[in-house]
Chains A and B, each alone.
Chain A
Amino acid sequence: MSENTGKKERFHRREVQRAMVKNARKAKIIDKIVSIFAIACVILAVIPLTSILIEVIKNGIAAFNWDFFTGRPSAIGRAGGGIGPAIQGTLIVVGLATMIGAPIGILTGIYLSEFAGNGPFPNGVRFFNEVMTGLPSVVMGIVGYILIVLTLGSFSVWAGAFSLSLIMIPIVSRVTEETIKIIPNSIREAGHALGIPKWKITLFITFKSAISGVLTGVVLSIARIAGETAPLIMTILGTSLFFTGFNSPVDALPLRIWRLSSQPYESAQTQAWGAALFLIMLVLVLSVALRLLAQRRGFAVKAEI
């Protein structure tokens, strides 16, 4: 009996091993195919990205000079001039939009992950967040136009910042909610066990642990709104003057790129490329700087928790 089972076991072992050897050979080939396919897809995705970047650098670098960054646009058809007002305007409008949008988005995210639970109201908020993320940005422009431009009676920095912050809020709140949710519950429990009030745990322990992820979300959304054109046409309009006040029109890089590139003159075209290159650099520098800041402060969450 026992010898029989032994025989049977030996037979099973042989069969299983044979099947596994056969399977291993097949698995190896499939493994190769899948990884080649994945690499091919990566290359396919990177080609347009790098070619855009190369094209922008090649065409735009020629426009770079001191006057280009500080000067006002010259009259149409004339060479020279710069994008100073556009750079200034973008910094002001995007900065203001971030000051409005980031806190609201972050607090919404904190509410959704730490306080709301799964009731109909928070789920409704989550649903509208998603819808708003997918909304075309021109809709935000219309909202800004109707609510602020028509009310105040003029195109203004406020209207632009308002429209851009509407784009920003759902992105930031989504990322904040997701990042804070990842923080393990044991960390919150440790805080509760010390008798720390919940709002302090949330702010000084949970949120602080998630802050690098939240910052990434803020940077992403800044990058997104810095490149928006449609909502700005309806809110800040664009001008060739430097900033004159929050209630008057202002210029922005995407608007300037659009205006310059629609002119038939070569000098304007080159300046459009230059402005595009500068916008890309601006976003890049900003995201690298914020990330470095997050690391320097030791905010990064370690993987092992």
Chain B
Amino acid sequence: MPAKEISKPISEATGPTGESSPLKEISVSTVETTKRIDEPPRRSKVSIKGINAWFGSKQALKNISLEIEENAATAFMGPSGCGKTTLIRCLNRMHEMTPGAKAKGQVILDGIDIYDKSIDPVIIKRRIGMVFQKPNPFPTMSIFDNVAAGLKLNGVKDKKLIKEIVEESLEGAGLWEEVKNELDKPGMGLSGGQQQRLCIARALAMQPEVLLMDEPTSALDPIASSKIEELVHQLKKHLTIIIVTHNMQQAARVADHAAFMYLGEMIEFGKTLQIFQYPKQELTEKFVSGKFG
């Protein structure tokens, strides 16, 4: 994972002290990584083609197209109100559930357009998991039931299977060791970071192919946030992850690809390394160097 090794120095290099030693490390490693920047993308899992979205009469997304690589993490970043959350909510047809909101365009998941008329938006959400900005475990359910809810309410009846998946999902979300003896306690009793990992486990239990994360750490403290970031590195081995963040250091740390958005438009999209080190657009350069946003 080249991005992971290099991301640390980058985030430090974006600070004002440009001549610190990490930067030298980068300049050495870039020699090897320049090739990788131009490497052709691997299989694309989701391709977004000309998505437009509105809230009432206000256009929130303007003709956005990009390819999301399979089993990698892609970050959408940009200042508040740039449409990154709207974009991620268009990817599982959650956007149109807001009253007055609509979306047009194509989002192709493994060759199927999820905006096709014949597609049931409910079914699509079973293949694409989502984690929200604020942890939102089901208030009346135990830890176990929170994770099992998606399976049970979608008709999975095999109790043994559910039990296995719950354990596997909690392990996948890095929460198993902390909660294995209190699975019947209410999910709301956990700390904020644990609740968020519970929500990740709940999404993982549905065996999704894509996991959408909408600013998953913005309500968490730094330690809880770093645990979630660690998790993203683990999960992207066999899951396509799309993460929205307004924190560019986070984008640099976790993402293989990054998209920079501004006022509903996609300004630049590419490998994280390229976006941070060789941004093609002036606006992107200003954003990643902390001059605005």
Contacts and interface: CB of A to CB of B under 8 A. Distances in A.
B132 A190 contact: yes
B124 interface: yes
A194 B139 contact: no
Contacts of B287: none
A64 interface: no
B60 to A, nearest CB: 17
Most buried by B among A117, A186, A196, A302: A196
B188 A302 contact: yes
Contact of B126 (A195, A205, A298, A304): A195
B151 to A, nearest CB: 9
A152 B98 CA distance: 51
A209 B134 contact: no
B132 A196 contact: no
Contacts of A301: 139-140
A291 interface: no
A125 interface: no
Contacts, number: 83
Chain A, interface size: which category?
20 to 34
A72 interface: no
Interface string A180-222: 0000101101111111111011001100110100000000000
B118 interface: no
B153 interface: yes
Main secondary structure of the interface of B (DSSP, over half): mixed
A305 interface: yes
Given A195-B124, A195-B154, A299-B140, A186 B134 contact: yes
Contacts of A192: 94, 97, 122, 125
A195 B122 contact: yes
Most buried by B among A192, A193, A298: A193
B249 to A, nearest CB: 26
Interface string B89-124: 000101001010000000000000000000000111
Interface of A: 117, 184, 186-187, 189-198, 200-201, 204-205, 208-209, 211, 298-299, 301-302, 304-305
20 contacts: A186-B134, A187-B138, A189-B97, A190-B138, A191-B149, A192-B122, A193-B94, A193-B125, A193-B203, A194-B126, A194-B153, A194-B154, A195-B150, A196-B122, A196-B153, A197-B153, A204-B153, A209-B139, A209-B140, A302-B139
